[in-house]
Every structure is written in structure tokens, then in C-alpha cells.
């Protein structure tokens, strides 16, 4: 019983402290309304303050289409925040508040957290009045792919902590009181499945977004999913490792190099690709051109992916 009481007290303390840095974000997007001209569409979401001088992390889709948003702190104070940086590819944005001395939620280590670890999701669930909603769950899985997205997305954290509309942009907090994820997506037809962007992904983007308003990264133009033995049997990939191309931008370096949906990338820049994280790391380190080895069925090919608008030369290797 003492152990349960201690755990309960720890969770209450974490929720109280973390909630001080969690904010509600109200945005207004002006859209064309037939018959009525320009009509405002209001939305709400969440975010959390990461620096004392008022930088707030949230989802891009929470602030998309807005240059200024209303930000409400846990004490009820309201500020007009400016959208200081956005990255649609990872659905991350930064809002800047005027002033200083704000409460801060420290960023944790999403690589270190283990499946089964307890976490709290905090945010403005459903836009309900009366303060933030706190829900408890565990890390159900790590490195989840998002093959239905239009971009390469580093593996997401999956959690069974309740995430509802309005929670978007709020933190997923570990038992040390640090944010390990940004809550971003739910599957409407599923129960107990939500996703968070790992904060280690966000850490790589912060400097670019704060200094330039966007993330400067290399682009090859695919979305993909990690291959395992089950996927290999289902799709006849000829390999049980690598990243399968799920979608591809027809005006991208990957398409120009000869890659197509269904191909499985097994090497990039001379290094083995065993996971989505491997591929993202190698692409981010890419400069100019890099060779890629891929499987198409049971045939193995090599191609050169070039950042310039030149077609890569595909080289047939083995039957």
C-alpha cells in the first residue's frame, strides 16, 4: 500500500508541476466560404513552454494558417503569441510569447524511455473549461511508422493514455516530470491508441525553427515503413530488413533516381538500413549525392540519389 501511495503522490506532483507550463492555444483560420466571403474558422489545441522567455512547442496543425494565436496559461492569463517557426513534415511548430519568467517543462529523452513506462498526457482535451486534462497510460510501443503520411516520419511513440481532440500539441510526460513526446494523433476507430512525436526528433529542429522559422533538411521525397519478417512474407520483398517505399513524390530526388512504391531500401551511403531511424539519420547527413541499394521483388539494384534536378543512374547488380 505504501508503494501505491508513493506512486500516486509522485504522479500528482508531476501533473501539478508540469501543468504549470502547459498552455491552451486558440487559433483562427480565415477560409473562403461560398456565399459569405471570407469566414473565420476557430480551433483549439495545446502546447507547452520550453524556455523562460516564452517559446512554446505545439503541433503545426494547431496553428496552421495563423500568424498570431491566443495562448492561455494555467493561471488563466492570456497572451497573443506569434508563430515563430513551423515544420509541416513533422507536425511541429513554435509559438513565441511576449515577456519572460515563464514556467518551463524540461525536455526528456525519448530514446531512453522503455515500452511499458508510465506516462501522463496533459492538455486542453475537447476544449473543456476548468483547466487541463491529465490522463495516465504507458508507452505501448516505440518507433511506430506512419505509412499513410506524405513524408518520412521518425518512429512515433504509441501510448494508451487518453488523447482527445484538443490534446494535440500537449506533452507526454514521463515519471521524472520531463516531456518525452508531443501528442499529435489518434486513430478514431481504435480504442486506447494514440501517438506522440518523440522529443529527440524535436530537439534536432529547435535551433533551425527559432533562428530561421523553418527546418533545414535534406529531402528525398518518400514515406516508408520498416520491413520485418511478417511484412517480407506478405509483400514478397526478398529481404526482411530495410525501409519499404510506401509513397513517393513524383517530383523528388528519389523518384528521379528510379525508386518506386514497393521498393525496399537496404543501404544508403554505403551503410546498412535496418530501420526508419537509420534512413532518416543518413539522409540528414547527406551532402550532394548518395548511393542507395534497394530490392524490387527479389532483384537487387543500386541507384544514385542526387539533391539537384538530375536523374540518378540506376545500375543493375544481380538477378
Let me know if 168 is a catalytic residue: yes
Query: Cell numbers at residue 140, please?
Result: 505501448
CA 23, CA 17: separation in Å to the nearest integer?
Answer: 13
Query: Cell numbers at residue 117, please?
Result: 513506462
Residue 156: left if φ>0, alpha if ψ -120 to 50, beta else—which one? Answer: beta
Q: How far is residue 312 CA from its own chain's centroid?
A: 30
List 66, 74, 168, 196, catalytic entry: 168
List 19, 27, 74, 91, catalytic entry: 91
Q: How far is residue 198 CA from its own chain's centroid?
A: 6
CA angle at 153 for the pair 197 and 255, rounded to the nearest 5°: 165
CA 123, CA 28: separation in Å to the nearest integer?
Answer: 19
* Phi/psi at 18 (5° precision): -65, -35
First CA to last CA across the chain, in angstroms?
65
Query: Cell numbers at residue 183, please?
Result: 501528442
Let me know if 278 is a catalytic residue: no
List 61, 140, 263, 275, catalytic entry: 61
Catalytic residues: 61, 91, 168
Amino acid at each position: 500500500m505504501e508503494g501505491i501511495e508513493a506512486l500516486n503522490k509522485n504522479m500528482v506532483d508531476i501533473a501539478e508541476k508540469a501543468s504549470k507550463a502547459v498552455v491552451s492555444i486558440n487559433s483562427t483560420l480565415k477560409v473562403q466560404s461560398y456565399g459569405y466571403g471570407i469566414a473565420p474558422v476557430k480551433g483549439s489545441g495545446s502546447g507547452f513552454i520550453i524556455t523562460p522567455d516564452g517559446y512554446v512547442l505545439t503541433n503545426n496543425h494547431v496553428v496552421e494558417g495563423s500568424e498570431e494565436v491566443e495562448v492561455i496559461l494555467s493561471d488563466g492569463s492570456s497572451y497573443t503569441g506569434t508563430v515563430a517557426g513551423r515544420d509541416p513534415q513533422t507536425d511541429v511548430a513554435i509559438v513565441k510569447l511576449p515577456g519572460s519568467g515563464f514556467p518551463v517543462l524540461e525536455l526528456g529523452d525519448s530514446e531512453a524511455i522503455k515500452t511499458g513506462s508510465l506516462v501522463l498526457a496533459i492538455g486542453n482535451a475537447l476544449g473543456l473549461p476548468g483547466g487541463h486534462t491529465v490522463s495516465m497510460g504507458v508507452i505501448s510501443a516505440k518507433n511506430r511508422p506512419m505509412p499513410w503520411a506524405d513524408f518520412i516520419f521518425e518512429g512515433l511513440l504509441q501510448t494508451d493514455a487518453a488523447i482527445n481532440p484538443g490534446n494535440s500539441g500537449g506533452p507526454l510526460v514521463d515519471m521524472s516530470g520531463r516531456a518525452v513526446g508531443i501528442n499529435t494523433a489518434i486513430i478514431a476507430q481504435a480504442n486506447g491508441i494514440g501517438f506522440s512525436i518523440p522529443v529527440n526528433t524535436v530537439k534536432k529542429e529547435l535551433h533551425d525553427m527559432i533562428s530561421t522559422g523553418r527546418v533545414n533538411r535534406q529531402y528525398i521525397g518518400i514515406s516508408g515503413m520498416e520491413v520485418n519478417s511478417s511484412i517480407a512474407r506478405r509483400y514478397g520483398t526478398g529481404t526482411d530488413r530495410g525501409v519499404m517505399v510506401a509513397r513517393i513524390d513524383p517530383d523528388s530526388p528519389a523518384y528521379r533516381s528510379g525508386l518506386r512504391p514497393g521498393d525496399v531500401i537496404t543501404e544508403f551511403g554505403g551503410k546498412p538500413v535496418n530501420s526508419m531511424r537509420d534512413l532518416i539519420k543518413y539522409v540528414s547527413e547527406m551532402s550532394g549525392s548518395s548511393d542507395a541499394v534497394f530490392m524490387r521483388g527479389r532483384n537487387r539494384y543500386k541507384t544514385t540519389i542526387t539533391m539537384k534536378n538530375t536523374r540518378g543512374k540506376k545500375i543493375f547488380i544481380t538477378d
